[in-house]
Amino acid sequence: MRRTTTLRTGLSALLLLGTWAAAGTLPASAADTPAHSAGAPASPELLSAMQRDLGLSRDAAAARLAAEKTATAVERKARRAAGSAYGGSWFDARTGKLTVAVTRAARADAIRATGAAVHLVRYNARHLDAARKSIDALPAPTGVGSWHVDPKANKVVVNIVAAHRDDNDVRAFLARARQAGPVTVRQTPAAPRTFAAGTVGGDPYYTGNVRCSIGFSVHGGFVTAGHCGSPSGAVYGWDRSYIGNFQGSSFPGNDYAWVNVGSGWWTVPVVLGWGTIPDRLVRGSAEAPVGASVCRSGSTTHWHCGTVLAKNETVNYSQGAVHQMTKTNVCAEPGDSGGSFISGDQAQGVTSGGWGNCGSGGETWHQPVNEILNRYGLTLHTA
């Protein structure tokens, strides 16, 4: 499927390939931006995409979006109410509410007063994050896929590739990881990989022999994945005309970059819907909680939706580990790298990598957009 006429008149230059919208122009940080702006309800096409990818009825999809909007707004208040006892939080699709893990029952009433449910746990978020950081310092073999703090389990989850679960180096890594703090082990069917691709005509942008996807417009350029190009590398659009150059890029360790825009191209606060849904306006970058629905737009597989599974996960690619990633069960394929992850009308991040495909399913990680904005001092272009 080729890009729309609208994109070919110039919007393609900076159309993000995911879909998010809602919350006014944001500076580099999105500290206390409301989750969604008041206004238009979800489009029929967005509801249809959620029905397809999340197995929901149309009414259930609409109700879930409304509940997630509330949960995103509640999360900051509930975290403040929990104080140092905060152990993490997640959106519970069954109840339609945010659940907050807390180590002290004395904080429960204050948390419930914000509209969140309460789950008592042993370890607070600071303790768990310290354990995760200790594991980050360990050299990880290829049989270890990733690791993250799971607030519901109240442990650090280490994901190992099933075929390598008995490898000596994997066992040695797990033994050292358990010394860092509370750890549980889960298996994943495949190792993570990035989603860059070789050159294919008619797609969003090229650098060298790599095709990737535009992420989100910022004032002066756009953000995308770091593994797609190196600083000063030239970037060309879907029509092979020159757009600009990578002004900053980091991979591994991080997976983010930004490209300046000129030569007749300009930025717009839009994410491409690829005909599945109407192209979406981007209104902010308020971060959705674990358990919330999220959608992705990319130049290979176009528009797909799923759920946020984990945050602050360290992903062990063959090129090296990347930190502070968000894991989802949205599918992706080569060429989707750098594209947009969006929740409602709020930008979430740029596609990094994962495992699987959009035929059989899989998992995909994104680098949170607010981290990229803060790192380079950029301002998200919003409607």
Burial class for 342, CB neighbours closer than 10 Å (0-12, 13-18, 19+): buried
**Residue 381 — pLDDT band, cuts 50, 70, 90?**
very high
φ/ψ of residue 162, rounded to 5: -55, -40
Is the pLDDT at 36 greater than 80, yes or no? no
- pLDDT for the residue numbered 222: 94
Please identify which of the residues 36, 119, 148, 227 carries the catalytic annotation. 227
Over the range 175-187, which residues count as b (16 or more CB within 10 Å of their CB) and which as e? Answer: eebbebbebebee
- pLDDT for the residue numbered 264: 84
Give residue for tokens 């929740």. 343
Residue 92 annotated in active site:
no
Across 197-319, the runs of DSSP E, i.e. the strands, are 197-198, 205-207, 210-212, 216-218, 221-224, 234-237, 242-250, 256-260, 270-271, 280-281, 293-298, 302-317
More confidently predicted of 141 and 265: 141
**Residue 33 — pLDDT band, cuts 50, 70, 90?**
very low
Which whole number is the average pLDDT over 185-200? 78
Is the pLDDT at 57 greater than 80, yes or no? yes
Per-residue pLDDT tens digits for 74-100? 999 999 999 999 999 999 999 999 999
Per-residue pLDDT tens digits for 122-178? 999 999 999 999 999 999 999 999 999 999 999 999 999 999 999 999 999 999 999
Tokens of 367: 């680098």
Give residue for tokens 């495992």. 355
Tokens of 48: 């249809």
Return d(Cα 257, Cα 248) in angstroms, integer.
Answer: 5
**Residue 41 — pLDDT band, cuts 50, 70, 90?**
low
Residue 127 annotated in active site:
no
Please identify which of the residues 285, 337, 340, 343 carries the catalytic annotation. 337
**Residue 45 — pLDDT band, cuts 50, 70, 90?**
confident
Per-residue pLDDT tens digits for 301-358? 999 999 999 999 999 999 999 999 999 999 999 999 999 999 999 999 999 999 999 9
Which whole number is the average pLDDT over 199-223? 81
Return d(Cα 146, Cα 159) in angstroms, integer.
Answer: 5
Closest CA to 115 of 75, 66, 62: 75
**pLDDT above 90: percentage of residues in the chain:** 78
**pLDDT above 70: percentage of residues in the chain:** 87
Query: For residue 252, is the peptide bond before it cis, meaning its omega torsion is within 30 degrees of 0?
Result: yes
Residue 337 annotated in active site:
yes
Q: Tell me, yes or no, if the pTM score tops 0.85.
A: no
